[in-house]
Amino acid sequence: MDIDVMGWIQRTLKPHMVSPDEALPGRDTPILSPMPRHEIFGLPLDEEPEGSEVAYFALGCYWGEERMFWETDGVLNTAVGFMGGFTPNPTYRESCTGQTGHTETVKVVYDPRRVSYDDLLKMFWEAHDPTQLNRQGNDVGTQYRSAVHTHTTGQLATAQSSRDAYQSVLTGAGYREITTEILPADGRPFYPAEPYHQQYLDKNPAGYCGIAGTGVSCPIGVAPADG
């Protein structure tokens, strides 16, 4: 997170989820236009190669999360943005107020022959503390809430089963209930963030990461995906 934005966020932070009526109005024009190319993969950020599948994960600040996924073998493309809320085409600053309803999200395009959805879920669960409500560490607000948005019934079943399996081991380790939203992506658009946020830690290697898990390993392979 930008240090010079931190104080502004604290002054404007809305700690509870807004209603559609309360949300900022947003705009019709996408923030990310034209679509740039990925700093590592060289693909347009909206490209989904033939045979690939898409997953959406939110686990706090999206800078470190995106790097974690783009460094994963089998991931073909990534982008950071906003999802799960009400404001169309929000800016980063609007999202930081908590008044859009969105959470910082990473779109992950992957080759299922090289990396499975189970594998990505395991990375997701272990990279943050999903028992924290509307925060991750020092990043506080509904825009940092934990979420999985699914594309298929198979993804939904797998995500729910992995949550239940992880809850079992987290409970045994003394953690509270998982707060992660697991919802179908249908009708919940992914809005890409501004260009300077895309692959931020490639452009700023010493930048803020925010990745910090519980240290508790997550079981995988708990439910078959049916596509």
Of 61, 96, 209, 218, the active-site residue reads: 61
Distance CA(67)–CA(64), nearest Å, equals 5
Question: Is residue 96 annotated as a catalytic residue, yes or no?
Answer: no
- Backbone angles phi and psi of 171, in degrees to 5: -60, -45
Determine contact, residues 125/166, Cβ cutoff 8 Å. yes
CA distances to 51, 158, 186, 207 from 162, rounded to whole Å, are 24, 6, 21, 31
- Backbone angles phi and psi of 115, in degrees to 5: -145, 135
> Which residues 6+ apart lie within 8 Å of 219 measured at CB?
162, 165, 166, 169
| DSSP E strand stretches across the chain | 53-58, 75-83, 103-110, 135-136, 139-140, 147-150, 181-184, 191-192
Determine contact, residues 149/107, Cβ cutoff 8 Å. no
DSSP letter for each residue of 180-203: -EEEE-TT---EE--GGGTTHHHH
Kindly give the pairing relationship between strand 181-184 and strand 147-150: parallel
Question: By CB neighbour count within 10 A (0-12 exposed, 13-18 middle, 19+ buried), where does 34 fall?
Answer: exposed
Catalytically annotated residues: 61
